Structure 1
Amino acid sequence: MPSSSSSVQDRSPQHELVVVANRLPVDSRTLPDGATEWVTSPGGLVTAMESVMRTVESGAWVGWAGSPGEAPDPFDADGMRLYPVRLDQSDVERYYEGYSNATLWPLYHDVIVDPEFHRGWWDSYLSANRRFAAAAAPVAAPGGTIWVHDYQLQLVPRMIRDKRNDVRIGFFNHIPFPPVELFSQLPKRNSILRGLLGADLIGFQRESDTLNFVASVRRLLGYHVDGTTISVPGIGAAPVREVQVETFPISIDSAAVSALTEDPEICERAAELRRELGDPEKVVLGVDRLDYTKGIRHRLKAWGELLDDGSIDPHDIVMIQVATPSRERVEAYRQLRDEVELTVGRINGEHAPIGRPAVSYQHHSFDRREMTALFMAADVVLVTALRDGMNLVAKEYVASRPDLQGVLVLSEFAGAADELRAAVLVNPHDIDELKAAILRSLAMPPEEQEDSMRSLRHQVMENDVQAWAHHFLERLETSQTPDSEDAPLVRLTGDRPSDPREVETALDEFTSVPRLLIASDFDGVLAPIVADRDAVQPDQEALAALRELADLPGVAVALVSGRSLEDLDSHTGMPSSVVLVGSHGAEVGALPPWMQAEVLDKSALSMTPEKEEQLETITRTLRRIARAHPGTEVETKPTAAVLHTRNATGRGSINATESALEYAMTLPDVTVTPGKEVVEFAVVHTSKGAAIDALARASAADAWLYLGDDITDESVFSQLSDHDLGLKVGGGDTAARLRIADTGAVREVLQRLLALRAAQS
């Protein structure tokens, strides 16, 4: 059988901890023979997860492999199972460079540059987030933990929650979260908030970020907030969930960085760097990604003015500015590079002595050993970000100075400023204050440096990245316990149909049972899904096979649909020998005389005046939503109202569905069922699974077979016994045992069932 239709247990081992991030923790490298080698990426998150993964029996990481196009197959690396996510070139341009880095990044960093808002970027962001969620949800073990990271994936927590209510979900935002006044500018702002609130625990770098998020939820969604605990209403009759929001400042692998300073080669390299600069009295260092949030322009302006007014002598003091290339396809970053290079050129042209730069500008990356040598060589390090979630350069510098010398000038707008209070704190927007801080640092006596650095090192060495990760996961572990019984049963993943030989064997075994119930959904199974629901054309040969099956001894046949009973009857024209069940089980048609009608308990389906009034209110609200989104329609049933978005124009389908689900959170006693471009609001609780169970009992069936294609059919597939048979029509995760391709395959299955059963009669 093809691997894509194998069981989840065989194809995707279920893991105790699943990390979801934009990138995998490895980079691909092409070897001379053309083979691909995967090399561990540098970075704090990778380092943190290495220590965490050693404490779990099975860990996994879901992320993009770094190259557009088809994703590699899952593979193992560093003790983890890696699940690559596909991103096409258009996704890279629109989801990553567009919405993530030209919309969210500038907005979340206090609008230092103007964010760009493009609806097409949002569509790509939504699509990419769905892909990450679809890859992560099935690989977590029942009751396991999924930890989602950063601003690129803010919709993923809720998307996973919709699939896996049995797991704990954490989210950590590595960048700032803006004040509500700024966040309110974001189109689809409520979708972002609801996406994040799919998590059980949401973590931020700074207390101010935590408070900003809570304020946004309170003001924009109107949810109840108690301190930093948010009560999230469920959809329809789903219970209220409590989401914890807390502060977890990230750190570095402090011990590993500090240990590098004992390497003789690195110590010699630090001395060599000073010699290469002409043995200046002082070396001032800036290390940043080339990003407008890092304050590089402000820093160079201050340095240039200090040179202009003679406060520093370029013969005695040299500045090194490392600016690692970043997002060079984004226009704002290209402009920044041009400005920085022009400024450096002007400063050196006006002030550099012969043979020595006033500013040594390095526009490339350095490995960890070279960076440690730079930190050891620097007398002053300038971390003057205009806005930064944390800034780990500050902590790396501190960890690189076990000699207790050196001065850290730190922006008060970097997250690190909350912890590293012994640094020289500065407002980088105030050029005069920044200049004064630089001069103070250059003149600081060794004794004062030692006092400051000792305090800074205590903070950094005692609070490393491993402690950060373990603290987050410990807090997540104490959040509300997921109900393992809510774990969706998934027997098949992927899209490829099952092996025809396996289907044939299963049909042969099924038809040998004495008394059978054969049931099927309608739309997408017996009839292709079409834009106009009234123009649906069922497969007449499939219907004919069902009619003939119903005439065979020991065979009961039923159609179970979300359509109303009257609608289903008009489109199928089935005889009384075939039982029709409409509205997901809320309506049952005439029963054959041999079926035990008393078994079908209809007492729960009775409509009261209160329910009638509630249904009228829901219908009015859905019609109001439909009027706002052309092409959207509302269908009324005896016990439900249904919003159909299949014909909505433009983004109307997504927007109308979002409005309907938001409305659903205000209806605590209504069953809300999202399906394929449809949302049903039922004032009487029913399900296809309950209907099939009742029909099987009423017909005294020894086994039943069901054909379905939608999420509403999973309530049937999830209750399959050993003798029952479920066939999923089309792709997607399912509890069905076998998968077939389409309505044509359904016709072939029904005709084969007829032939096999007739041969036994």
Structure 2
Amino acid sequence: MPTTPTAQDRPGEHELVVVANRLPVDSRTLPDGATEWVTSPGGLVTAMESVMRTVDSGAWVGWAGSPGEAPAPFEADGMSLYPVPLDQIDVERYYEGYSNGTLWPLYHDVIVDPEFHRGWWDTYLSANRRFAEVAAPVAAPGGTIWVHDYQLQLVPRLIRDRRSDVRIGFFNHIPFPPVELFSQLPKRNSILRGLLGADLVGFQRESDSLNFLSAVRKLLGLHVDGMTISVPGIGAAPVREVVVQTFPISIDSAAVSALTEDPGIRERATQLRRDLGDPQRIVLGADRLDYTKGIRHRLKAWGELLDDGSIDPHDTVMIQIATPSRERVEAYQQLRDEVELTVGRINGEHAPLGRPAVSYQHHSFDRREMTALFMAADVVLVTALRDGMNLVAKEYIASRPDLQGVLVLSEFAGAADELRAAVLVNPHDIDELKAAILRSLAMPPEEQEEAMRSLRHQVMEHDVQLWAKEFLERLTATGSPQVAAVQAVRLTGDEPSDPAQLDVALREFTEVPRLLIASDFDGVLAPIIEDRDAVQPDPDALAALRELSDLPGVAVALVSGRALADLDSHTSMPSSVVLVGSHGAEVGALPPWMQAEVLDKSALTMTAEKEEQLAEITATLRRIARAHPGTEVETKPTAAVLHTRNATGRGGINATESALEYATTLPEVTVTPGKEVVEFAVVHTSKGVAIDALSRASAADAWLYLGDDVTDESVFGQLGERDVAVKVGGGDTAATWRISDTSTARDLLRRLLELRSEQS
């Protein structure tokens, strides 16, 4: 597969972005040591390949499959691929742990007990953030992002927080459990809110959709009208509508059916029967080795049929394919031991010389070999105890254009809703399962043809391409992107900008006639510490700001989330430096040359109603703080702030979650989450608004701003051509330059002083 490393050069241009746990390619090392990427098999890849051909630019975000540093973005088969880095701990805790040790068993009716580990949840959250951070900047303004499956249930909301302009869809490929089971899940509300970041949430079965709606109604208390959920925004954000709908997935039916015309595959099907001794009947089970697939129940039924003489092993052979799956997980290791022990016992007791009673295959088969097996099989057993869909059933049907063969299908597989002409069975009832197998083996050819004709009509008409098309059409009709709210991301990761290039930018900036130089306080001029009152700003950084404020044509400001009086006490700045507190809600004394009338203070008016609302918010936040030791509440003239920096244990995470959930009930309040803080302001302000006002009041031709927090992005997002935005620390940002820490910020301010002094 040819690849070119150009996808990374075109972020934000992709009309459709698919986000899944894995990329649609696998790496293969060539003899010369080079890496080649080959397309992975699978229904989702097949569906998305056909959809990608219909858009101008498509991208796929996912893990490349190996722990460690992710490859650079690249292109393959017309898709731009953006790898997400996962280290070995992520694989163990996010994927093997929370995804497959907690969610998978819980969502599959607790066939085995799910494990609940808080460390697994923490890693699941951080991994989902990583997927969202990679995916969010990739989509074009007004584009579509389609997130897939249970490993990424937090991603829709995490993307929504970054990109309100895009349509977001989510499809769950596995079942969604009844609310009685889902309620067992710690952090259940976080999962629900994560999914509700999407505009459209799709499920395999109608029962899954109804289970999700019940969970949202009962656990979140949200209004549900039919299949539409009204989701309140945080604070003053508007109410959104989320649509829930059923979209049963399918296969590339035409491609599978076409394989049956291949002479080589036809000959292989004949050869398979010869290899098995030309039995009268072949019964096939083809599954991942997973406890949800009902392999143990199936083997028990088969063994009993042999025990009581209902099946003669000389005439009928069973093939059981158990594709290796999650072999590092203990439950899967135990299942393999049990299955292999059972197969050994059955063969030891019933296999004729030279022929097995059960041919057990614990390895993968390619598509051609599977098609030959389906063509050779007289009966296929799909007896899952619980399954979102089960595409093996549909692949078998697509492989039988001869209209022969019988499908025994569990009523607990999603495919049972569509494939009503199959022999439906309750796999938990061993006697019923045995009877279904015997009925299938005895079914006359004309009855097989009648059933298979009905089944093939369903599978051939409703293929995976139609599934994807219907989902995306519904998403297009559902989502209401807010294009004006696009937040640019100019820098990603943690790597500081090139110092030489940054110095050139600083020199050009200081040559502008009238300047505004402004900075955040915590995390920029002073390291962030647990005790906010004990903060010690860098004296040299403050001195540089004081000296800058004395230079002609230079206005200087400190803009902080701290209350104005608190900021003043920790900086002791002269009147030549403007202090702005509470994210812009409080403005200190202005130098005489600054046009005070330009600053719009009308928004700072506190009415009696706002005073009462602020008191209620403060009381609620204090209740949250009391429940999480170490959490503190700060009061400001127009806001209340929950600080979680000193919270013990997991209290900070839990208190923040409670505060954000409370925020959805406050439609007139501006809620700003930051680094270990959540601020509730009854007066709408932001650092961006404050810098804009200060820039106009000082008649600045350009501004420079240093910030480290998410609250500083409102400044970075309004960059002009000559402005300079500097992010202190790591993370995605709309700033144009990045420096590492507070000491580097001090050096930058001193360099600004040196360069500007040369102009005086």
Give the AA of the match of 2:231: V
Give a deviation string over 1:547-591, Cα, whole Å, max 9, x none: 111111221111111000000000000011111110011111111
| Contact 1:177/1:210 (8 A) holds in 2 | yes
1:712 to partner: Cα distance: 1.0
> Secondary structure of the residue that 2:248 maps to in structure 1?
coil
* Mapped pair 1:516 → 2:526: no
1:11 to partner: Cα distance: 6.0
For residue 578 of structure 1, what is the aligned residue in structure 2?
A: 577
| Contact 2:8/2:72 (8 A) holds in 1 | no
* Mapped pair 1:397 → 2:402: no
1:736 to partner: Cα distance: 1.9
1:357 to partner: Cα distance: 1.0
| Contact 2:7/2:81 (8 A) holds in 1 | no
For residue 120 of structure 2, what is the aligned residue in structure 1?
A: 121
| Contact 1:104/1:151 (8 A) holds in 2 | yes
Distance 1:539 1:63 in 2: 42
Distance 2:8 2:21 in 1: 25
* Mapped pair 1:216 → 2:215: yes
> Secondary structure of the residue that 1:138 maps to in structure 2?
coil
> Secondary structure of the residue that 2:313 maps to in structure 1?
coil
Alignment of 1:34-113 (within 5 A): 34-113=33-112
> Secondary structure of the residue that 2:145 maps to in structure 1?
strand
Alignment of 1:444-593 (within 5 A): 444-593=443-592
| Contact 1:8/1:493 (8 A) holds in 2 | no
Give the AA of the match of 1:567: D
For residue 383 of structure 2, what is the aligned residue in structure 1?
A: 384
Distance 1:510 1:362 in 2: 69
> Secondary structure of the residue that 1:674 maps to in structure 2?
strand
| Contact 1:159/1:198 (8 A) holds in 2 | yes
Return 734-743 or 463-472, whichever deviates more: 734-743
| Contact 1:8/1:490 (8 A) holds in 2 | no
Distance 2:338 2:702 in 1: 74
> Secondary structure of the residue that 2:65 maps to in structure 1?
coil
1:303 to partner: Cα distance: 0.9
Give a deviation string over 1:406-431, Cα, whole Å, max 9, x none: 00000000000000000011111111
For residue 676 of structure 2, what is the aligned residue in structure 1?
A: 677
For residue 720 of structure 2, what is the aligned residue in structure 1?
A: 721
For residue 428 of structure 2, what is the aligned residue in structure 1?
A: 429
Identify unmatched segments of 5+ residues in structure 2. Answer: 1-5
Distance 1:569 1:602 in 2: 20
Give the AA of the match of 2:718: Q
1:360 to partner: Cα distance: 0.9
Distance 1:591 1:389 in 2: 64
1:8 to partner: Cα distance: 11
* Mapped pair 1:304 → 2:303: yes
| Contact 2:230/2:241 (8 A) holds in 1 | yes
For residue 207 of structure 1, what is the aligned residue in structure 2?
A: 206
| Contact 2:703/2:723 (8 A) holds in 1 | yes
1:9 to partner: Cα distance: 8.2
> Secondary structure of the residue that 2:302 maps to in structure 1?
helix
| Contact 2:719/2:725 (8 A) holds in 1 | yes
Give a deviation string over 1:435-475, Cα, whole Å, max 9, x none: 11111111111111000000000000001111111111111
1:737 to partner: Cα distance: 2.3
| Contact 1:549/1:754 (8 A) holds in 2 | yes
| Contact 2:170/2:201 (8 A) holds in 1 | yes
For residue 441 of structure 2, what is the aligned residue in structure 1?
A: 442
1:228 to partner: Cα distance: 1.0
Alignment of 1:128-527 (within 5 A): 128-527=127-526
> Secondary structure of the residue that 1:51 maps to in structure 2?
helix
> Secondary structure of the residue that 2:244 maps to in structure 1?
strand
Give the AA of the match of 1:362: Q
Give a deviation string over 1:19-57, Cα, whole Å, max 9, x none: 111111111112222222211110000000110111111
Distance 1:270 1:760 in 2: 85
Distance 1:384 1:21 in 2: 27
| Contact 1:8/1:491 (8 A) holds in 2 | no
Distance 1:760 1:337 in 2: 76
Distance 2:145 2:158 in 1: 12
> Secondary structure of the residue that 2:112 maps to in structure 1?
coil
Distance 1:490 1:355 in 2: 66
Identity %: 86
TM-score w.r.t. structure 2 length?
0.98
Distance 2:465 2:231 in 1: 31
Distance 1:205 1:155 in 2: 19
Give a deviation string over 1:346-395, Cα, whole Å, max 9, x none: 11111111111111111111111110000000011010001000000000
Give the AA of the match of 1:23: R
Return 572-581 or 726-735, whichever deviates more: 726-735
Return 632-641 or 548-557, whichever deviates more: 548-557
Give a deviation string over 1:670-713, Cα, whole Å, max 9, x none: 00000111100000001111111111222222222211111111
Identify unmatched segments of 5+ residues in structure 1. Answer: 1-6
C-alpha distance 724-8 of structure 1, shift in aligned 2 (>3 A): farther
For residue 758 of structure 2, what is the aligned residue in structure 1?
A: 759
Give the AA of the match of 1:63: G
1:520 to partner: Cα distance: 1.0
Distance 1:105 1:346 in 2: 30
Return 191-200 or 493-502, whichever deviates more: 493-502
Distance 1:708 1:98 in 2: 37
For residue 3 of structure 1, what is the aligned residue in structure 2?
A: none
Distance 2:260 2:216 in 1: 45
Give the AA of the match of 2:630: G
Distance 2:700 2:157 in 1: 39
C-alpha distance 214-752 of structure 1, shift in aligned 2 (>3 A): same
1:494 to partner: Cα distance: 2.5
Distance 2:579 2:69 in 1: 44
> Secondary structure of the residue that 1:274 maps to in structure 2?
helix
CA RMSD in angstroms comes to 1.3
TM-score w.r.t. structure 1 length?
0.98
Distance 1:715 1:180 in 2: 40
> Secondary structure of the residue that 1:113 maps to in structure 2?
coil
Give the AA of the match of 1:137: A
Give a deviation string over 1:97-122, Cα, whole Å, max 9, x none: 11111111110000111111111111
For residue 4 of structure 1, what is the aligned residue in structure 2?
A: none
Distance 2:487 2:640 in 1: 26
C-alpha distance 9-331 of structure 1, shift in aligned 2 (>3 A): closer
For residue 745 of structure 2, what is the aligned residue in structure 1?
A: 746
Distance 1:342 1:717 in 2: 63
* Mapped pair 1:599 → 2:621: no
| Contact 1:21/1:62 (8 A) holds in 2 | yes
Give the AA of the match of 2:642: L
Give the AA of the match of 2:68: G
Give the AA of the match of 1:321: Q
| Contact 1:726/1:737 (8 A) holds in 2 | yes
Distance 1:111 1:104 in 2: 10
> Secondary structure of the residue that 2:496 maps to in structure 1?
coil
Give the AA of the match of 2:112: V
C-alpha distance 121-9 of structure 1, shift in aligned 2 (>3 A): closer
For residue 623 of structure 1, what is the aligned residue in structure 2?
A: 622
Distance 2:364 2:714 in 1: 54
For residue 3 of structure 2, what is the aligned residue in structure 1?
A: none
For residue 18 of structure 1, what is the aligned residue in structure 2?
A: 17
> Secondary structure of the residue that 2:137 maps to in structure 1?
helix
Return 568-577 or 729-738, whichever deviates more: 729-738
Give the AA of the match of 1:65: A
| Contact 2:7/2:73 (8 A) holds in 1 | no
1:741 to partner: Cα distance: 2.0
Distance 1:385 1:682 in 2: 53
